[in-house]
């Protein structure tokens, strides 16, 4: 099992220096990758829990984001070339890029450029988004009902641009006449991770059709990971496919090591999955490993936990906990 860090660029308040320090430590500790979050907008009514949907459309959470509308956070996409310049060996990506917020061809060419800037260390995460208020704020309110189709079309356009000298495409969202788009990604097969949080069948179809390299969920328990992996595997088998080689099964999970034990009773997405004592986290990671998870994305809490504490936790996870997990 590998470790990845989900950078807390979306929280009530964060500084560039904190993100820089966390990234440097992740690289020093040989983490596999660091990831940013794609967040453009927090409506003021989120503070009153009056949004259309709860965070990530996850059941059991209030209809409001965990970050205040007056918060001071950073958008995740511009951090990608910055991460490339600040590091030398760790991989990086954004989990998850909401494709409807960006023109598919523009996104494809920008990602190819960033892959060159990093020396071939970029991961690409794609998903549909879930927040109609953010679609409206981004000027694409009309795409919300059609967002899953936009992801599909973006995957086709990215693959077409990256694998052909000249490319043309006529779809629902883009009309591209035959032409070229400059440099291909430095990596021959740029890794693409898909986030589909509701429908294993849709996820399996995307993985099978486009040869995707990973799946990323949010706050999944070991039982969730086992169920998702099993259902996707069944769907893939029906399509005459299997998981691609070195497929990464991941989830973004709120993580903090505590002095006192926390209640680990299953309470859906709000369960303390990787929040608890070192022993509780060790036990949970062993369960994730057995369930088929290959890489948790460790997600610092949105507030009340200073960056210095997260850095201490990262060191303990690497030095004390993971050797026991990987030996199990």
What is the per-residue pLDDT across 212-245, written as a single tens digit (0 to 9) for each? 999 999 999 999 999 999 988 988 898 898 998 8
Any bridge partners for residue 122, and if so which?
A: 92
DSSP letter string, 244-261: PTT-EEEEEEEEEE-SS-
Report all structural domains of the chain as residue ranges with CATH numbers, in order of start: 4-327 (3.20.20.30)
Predicted local confidence at residue 208, as pLDDT = 85
- Contact between 203 and 197 (Cβ < 8 Å): no
Q: For residue 86, name the pLDDT band (cuts at 50, 70, 90).
A: very high
In the numeric block, which tokens belong to residue 313?
Answer: 């936790």
Any bridge partners for residue 169, and if so which?
A: 176
Predicted local confidence at residue 173, as pLDDT = 98
* Contacts of residue 39, Cβ cutoff 8 Å, sequence gap at least 6: 9, 10, 67, 73, 75, 76, 134
Predicted local confidence at residue 33, as pLDDT = 98
* Contacts of residue 211, Cβ cutoff 8 Å, sequence gap at least 6: 189, 244
Respond yes or no on whether the N-terminal peptide bond of residue 96 is cis (omega within 30° of 0). yes
Residue 270 in this model has a pLDDT that exceeds 90:
no
What distance in Å separates the CA atoms of residue 189 and residue 163, rounded to the nearest whole number?
9
Predicted local confidence at residue 282, as pLDDT = 98
State phi, psi for 64 to the nearest 5 degrees: -160, 155
Predicted local confidence at residue 179, as pLDDT = 98
Q: Cα torsion for 15, 275, 286, 201, to the nearest 10°? A: -80
Predicted local confidence at residue 60, as pLDDT = 83
Predicted local confidence at residue 267, as pLDDT = 87
What is the per-residue pLDDT across 22-80, written as a single tens digit (0 to 9) for each? 999 999 999 999 999 999 999 999 999 999 999 889 888 899 999 999 999 999 999 99
Residue 3 in this model has a pLDDT that exceeds 80:
yes
Q: Give the count of beta carbons closer than 10 Å to the beta carbon of residue 53.
A: 14
Any bridge partners for residue 194, and if so which?
A: 126, 215
Q: How many CA atoms lie within 13 A of 303 on its CB side?
A: 9
Q: For residue 327, name the pLDDT band (cuts at 50, 70, 90).
A: very high
Predicted local confidence at residue 103, as pLDDT = 97
- Contact between 32 and 91 (Cβ < 8 Å): yes
- In 3D space, the residue among 147, 148, 149 whose CA is nearest the CA of residue 132 turns out to be 147
- In 3D space, the residue among 320, 309, 319 whose CA is nearest the CA of residue 21 turns out to be 309
In the chain, pLDDT over 70 holds for what percent of residues? 100
- In 3D space, the residue among 41, 50, 59, 45 whose CA is nearest the CA of residue 135 turns out to be 41
Cα distances from 64 to residues 41, 133, 144, 219, in angstroms, run 12, 11, 18, 17
Q: Are strands 91-94 and 124-127 parallel, antiparallel or unpaired?
A: unpaired
The DSSP secondary-structure symbol of 141 reads G
**Where does the chain have alpha helices with state H?**
16-28, 79-86, 104-117, 132-137, 147-163, 200-210, 222-238, 278-291, 307-316, 322-327
Coil, strand or helix at 122 = strand
């Amino acid at each position: 099992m590998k470790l990845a860090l989900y950078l807390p660029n979306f929280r009530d308040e964060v500084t560039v220096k904190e993100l820089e320090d966390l990234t440097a430590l992740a690289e020093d500790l040989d983490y596999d990758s660091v990831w940013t979050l794609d967040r453009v907008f927090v409506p003021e009514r989120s503070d009153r829990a009056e949004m259309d949907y709860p965070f990530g459309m996850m059941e059991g959470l209030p209809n409001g984001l965990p970050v205040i509308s007056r918060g001071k956070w950073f958008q995740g996409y511009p951090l990608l070339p910055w991460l490339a310049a600040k590091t030398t060996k760790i991989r990086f990506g954004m989990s998850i890029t909401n494709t409807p917020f960006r023109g598919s061809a523009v996104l494809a060419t920008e990602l190819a450029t960033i892959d060159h800037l990093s020396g071939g260390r970029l991961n690409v995460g794609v998903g549909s988004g879930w927040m109609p208020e953010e679609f409206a704020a981004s000027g694409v309110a009309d795409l919300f009902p059609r967002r899953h189709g936009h992801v599909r079309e973006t995957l086709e356009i990215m693959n077409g641009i990256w694998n052909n000298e000249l490319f043309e495409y006529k779809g629902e969202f883009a009309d591209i006449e035959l032409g070229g788009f400059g440099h291909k990604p430095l990596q021959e097969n740029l890794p693409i991770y898909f986030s589909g949080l509701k429908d294993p069948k849709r996820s399996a179809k995307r993985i099978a059709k486009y040869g995707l390299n990973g799946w990323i969920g949010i706050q999944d328990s070991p039982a969730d990971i086992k169920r998702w992996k099993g259902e996707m595997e069944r769907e893939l088998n029906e399509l005459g496919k299997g998981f691609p080689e070195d497929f990464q099964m991941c989830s973004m999970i709120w993580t903090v090591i505590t002095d006192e034990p926390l209640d680990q009773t299953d309470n859906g997405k709000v369960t303390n999955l990787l929040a608890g004592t070192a022993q509780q986290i060790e036990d949970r990671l062993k369960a994730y490993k057995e369930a088929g998870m290959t890489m948790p994305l460790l997600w610092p809490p949105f507030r009340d936990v200073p960056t210095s504490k997260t850095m201490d936790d990262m060191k303990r996870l690497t030095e004390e906990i993971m050797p026991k997990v990987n030996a199990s």
